[in-house]
Amino acid sequence: MTQKLKLVVVGNGMAPGRMLEHLFEAGDAYEVTIFNAEPRVNYDRIMLSPVLSGEKTYEDIIIHSDDWYAEHGVTLHRGEKVTKIDREAKTVTSEGGITAPYDKLVIATGSNPFIIPLPGHKLKGVLAYRDLDDTHGMMEAAKKGGNAVVIGGGLLGLEAAAGLKMQGMDVTVIHLMPSLMERQLDPAAGFLLKRELEGRGIEVLCEANTKQILGTEKVEGVELADGRVIDASLVVMAVGIRPNTQLAAESGLEVGRGIVTDSTLRTSDPNIYSVGECVEVGGMVYGLVAPLYQMARVIAGHLSGPSDAEFKHVETPTKLKVTGVNLYSVGEFGEGPDREDIVLRDAMRGTYKRVIIKDDKIIGCVLYGDVADGGWYNEMLKSGDSIQEMRDTLIFGQAYQGGGGGDPLAAIANLSDDAEICGCNGISKGQIVKAIQDGGLTTLGDVRAHTKASASCGTCTGLVEGVMALTLGDAFALPDAEGMCGCTAHSHGHVRRLIKAKELKSIPAVMQDLEWSTPEGCAKCRPALNYYLVSDWPGEYVDDMQSRFINERVHANIQKDGTYSVVPRMFGGVTTPDELRAIADVADKFEIPTVKVTGGQRIDLLGVKKEDLLPVWKDLNDAGMISGAAYAKGLRTVKTCVGQDWCRFGTQDSTGLGIKLEHLLWGSWAPAKLKLAVSGCPRNCSESTCKDIGIICVDSGFEILYGGAAGLHIQGTTPLGKVATEEEVLEYVGALTQMYRDQGFYLERIYKWADRVGYDHIQDVIMNDHDARKEYYKQFLFSQKFAQIDPWAERVAGAEAHEFSPMADLKLEAAE
């Protein structure tokens, strides 16, 4: 068996991660060891801005999970910064004393943020914006509210400003130059961007110079050179980056602006390569991800065998990752006597398009508002094709060339196979088409998984879908998981995060801010939005009954013949003679044809006419009975056995605990139905092991289980943990329910939620993180103050007719 070579990688960012992907695709020649200064796995730094704004979480942006490293036999040393490279011995040594030998070494130390050495720059509350720790630091600061000052109006600075604003802070951007993002945008586009940000409540001060940061122990304000003082509790420095070359320089490698390499990314030592923001190749350093990924491909080719691959400079487009702000810039846009501009402004739409031409060739473009043709202009720039024959229509985009008539699919069809679709990952149209055809891919998720196209910043998603539509024809359909419904392209997860991040507190506000394509939504999205708003803003948002299904509106299940079934609540399955008499009287009085015991230990009155629903419920309410919510997206039943009071095997009072749980959870909203059970002993007569949440009583306490299902999908529960007292059962179940309510998608059962976020993670939070559990339980109890007000009792006396009108029913019955 051939001995594997030892490859050591210093750094675990996006570039070395992509390099390893290419290397593993080529074979299994190396035993790989990674030293990562950060205490975590590889993640997508491009998406730090959505994490800061609250639109994504850290888990959403992980690139390589622990399983990936295990699958490829990679040794990952987390939190181990390399401090020494011994080139003669061919070893590296970390700050923690770990030494690893190498045959080949790749240095990927990235870059360091530039901190202006202003007076006060070392005060508590001054942060850079480069990694996840910086992001979390800003999020923690934002929890306290107050004012934030962002120094720097470039890409990172504006993304930080937008994120902090969405986190609830008042934000001021201080920028030295006359217009924002002056390296990527011309003044006209910079003006539009400034106006957009100011419209969002962000103060932007251009041509402003910072004199000092004020404060004694922590940030209290910022003083400008002209004497103005801005109150601040947080200052974010976003004025640029510098390649991190210290380790390479100390090791005797050639260093200039970055670690100097040749076009194969080999350093002055033939056994050492370098990749990423730390590299200087061809006299240039790079900070955008597309050229870094090109470096990764080149190095992987040379590590895996003889290769003629070389890194070549290409113009890289710039995009701003701020929700709702569309801009695209590539190439040159400076003034010059030999250059020609074609400009289109649309004041009504707020769009601006400028294409810069030299010698009948595109050398640059700046797009704001309408960026759909950015990829096409970039392709024309790279190819150097003449635009002479399309000069009159060039500014209108590709869809108007060659008889396209404005059809976006015609425009995509006209793209060459080499046309770049995904700039972040360097994926061409031809690569996507080949992956679809070779792999039989039919969904956007499949294409992302196989090619990574649109898997980073996501701005090319429309183009990727267009390529799929052309390739698959009628077989292409956007999967349900990508969008809530046809009214929006946003997923459930995206909508949930944006409702919180943007503090949207009404259905119209959500639809306006998130650009719904229909005026009032539909039967899929309105109930989901109503749930998210009820869940996220208890006590503030008023439950919109017209956005609930008919069953929830009338507290009864519609049957196939148009009648309804009515199920009064019996806490823990326990009833009284008075309740039974009331049920019998109602059945006689309204000639209800069928009275049945349900699987949830209650009594179901079947065949109730619609016109009888109000008087039926009035009579039951008068007898002290409330709705059993047999229709609800929330608690339905808590099934119990007789427990130790009557059963000779019972170990605890399962009936009493079940009643306590039902009283605790009664009226609780949830993403989907919740069914519980409490069994008095491991014989499990209450079937606790197939419920959403189950309790098994044992001699020494209570075992809590969750994630079971016994419907179309059948699976047993997963143990959460064991507790000693009933009080702990109530707390842990309440916290688990709140965590599910906070994170679950509408109609997502608890087992599907657990599959998505991870059973180990849930167990760690609820069972091991004392503070997190207490906080979830506190939130649960607060929400229940509003959930346990039964709206039916208030409406029984005099419901408005429209609540039960046929038209109101028809709107949502179809989706039930």
Query: Are 648 and 780 contained in the same domain?
Result: yes
CATH of the domain at 679: 3.30.413.10
Q: Is the dihedral of CA 436, 439, 443, 448 positive or negative?
A: negative
Q: Report the percent of the chain where pLDDT is more than 90.
A: 44
Binding residues: 641, 647, 681, 685
Query: Are 159 and 300 contained in the same domain?
Result: no
Q: Is residue 560 part of a domain?
A: no
Query: Are 103 and 163 contained in the same domain?
Result: no
Residue 800 clears pLDDT 50, i.e. is over it: no
Most confidently modeled of 74-88, 179-193, 307-321, 525-539?
Answer: 74-88
* pLDDT band at residue 550 under the 50/70/90 scheme: confident
Query: If you average pLDDT over residues 175-196, what whole number do you get?
Result: 89
Residue 244 clears pLDDT 90, i.e. is over it: yes
Q: The tokens 């969750």 sit on which residue?
A: 706
Q: For 647-703, how does the pLDDT look when each residue is reduced to its tens digit (9 = 90+)?
A: 888 888 899 999 999 889 888 789 999 999 999 899 888 888 999 999 999 988 999
Lowest mean pLDDT among 261-275, 363-377, 413-427, 503-517: 413-427
Burial 28-49 (b: 16+ CB within 10 A, else e): eebbbbbbbbbeebbbbbbbbb
* pLDDT band at residue 796 under the 50/70/90 scheme: very low
Q: Is residue 364 part of a domain?
A: no
Which domain, by its residues, includes 686? 635-787
Per DSSP, 314 falls in state -
Query: Are 72 and 146 contained in the same domain?
Result: no
Q: Is residue 83 part of a domain?
A: yes
Q: For 719-741, how does the pLDDT look when each residue is reduced to its tens digit (9 = 90+)?
A: 999 999 999 999 999 999 999 99
Q: Which phi and psi (to 5°) does residue 502 adopt?
A: -95, 0
Query: Are 235 and 247 contained in the same domain?
Result: no
Select from 271, 304, 337 the last residue of a domain: 304
CATH of the domain at 30: 3.50.50.60
Query: Are 197 and 285 contained in the same domain?
Result: no
Select from 282, 304, 326 the last residue of a domain: 304
Q: Is residue 192 part of a domain?
A: yes
Q: For 551-572, how does the pLDDT look when each residue is reduced to its tens digit (9 = 90+)?
A: 777 788 888 788 888 989 888 8
Q: Which of the two residues, 82 and 455, has the higher pLDDT score?
A: 82
Residue 801 clears pLDDT 60, i.e. is over it: no
Q: What are the C-alpha distances in Å from 345 to residues 381, 396, 588?
A: 22, 11, 74
Q: Is residue 740 part of a domain?
A: yes
Give the C-alpha separation, 322 to 530, whole Å. Answer: 26
Q: Is residue 442 part of a domain?
A: no
Query: Are 184 and 265 contained in the same domain?
Result: no
Which token pair is 152?
């720097």
Query: Are 640 and 774 contained in the same domain?
Result: yes
Query: If you average pLDDT over residues 15-28, what whole number do you get?
Result: 93
Query: Are 531 and 671 contained in the same domain?
Result: no
- Which residues have CB under 8 Å from 244's CB, separation 6+? 109, 110, 111, 112, 277, 278
The answer, as to whether pTM is greater than 0.85, is no
Binding residues for siroheme: 685
Bridge partners, 634 (sequence order): 669
* pLDDT band at residue 35 under the 50/70/90 scheme: very high
Query: Are 49 and 147 contained in the same domain?
Result: no
Query: If you average pLDDT over residues 333-352, what whole number do you get?
Result: 80
pLDDT of residue 804: 32
Select from 304, 331, 350 the last residue of a domain: 304
Q: Is residue 365 part of a domain?
A: no
pLDDT of residue 701: 92
655 C-beta neighbours (distance < 10 Å), count? 25
Q: Is residue 139 part of a domain?
A: yes
Domain count for the chain: 4
Q: Are strands 279-281 and 111-113 parallel, antiparallel or unpaired?
A: unpaired
Q: Which of 238, 242, 243 is nearest to 259 (CA)?
A: 243
Binding residues for [4Fe-4S] cluster: 641, 647, 681, 685
pLDDT of residue 815: 34
The answer to whether the CB of 259 falls within 8 A of the CB of 253 is: yes
User: Residue 375 corresponds to which amino acid?
Assistant: G
Per DSSP, 558 falls in state E
pLDDT of residue 793: 42
Q: Which of the two residues, 464 and 237, has the higher pLDDT score?
A: 237
Q: Are strands 701-706 and 327-331 parallel, antiparallel or unpaired?
A: unpaired
pLDDT of residue 584: 93
Q: Which phi and psi (to 5°) does residue 163 adopt?
A: -65, -45
Burial 451-490 (b: 16+ CB within 10 A, else e): bbbbbbbbbbbebbbbbbbbbbeeebeeeeebbbbebbbb
SS3 276: coil
pLDDT of residue 272: 97
Residue 791 clears pLDDT 50, i.e. is over it: no
Residue 103 clears pLDDT 50, i.e. is over it: yes
Query: Are 252 and 191 contained in the same domain?
Result: no
Query: Are 78 and 213 contained in the same domain?
Result: no
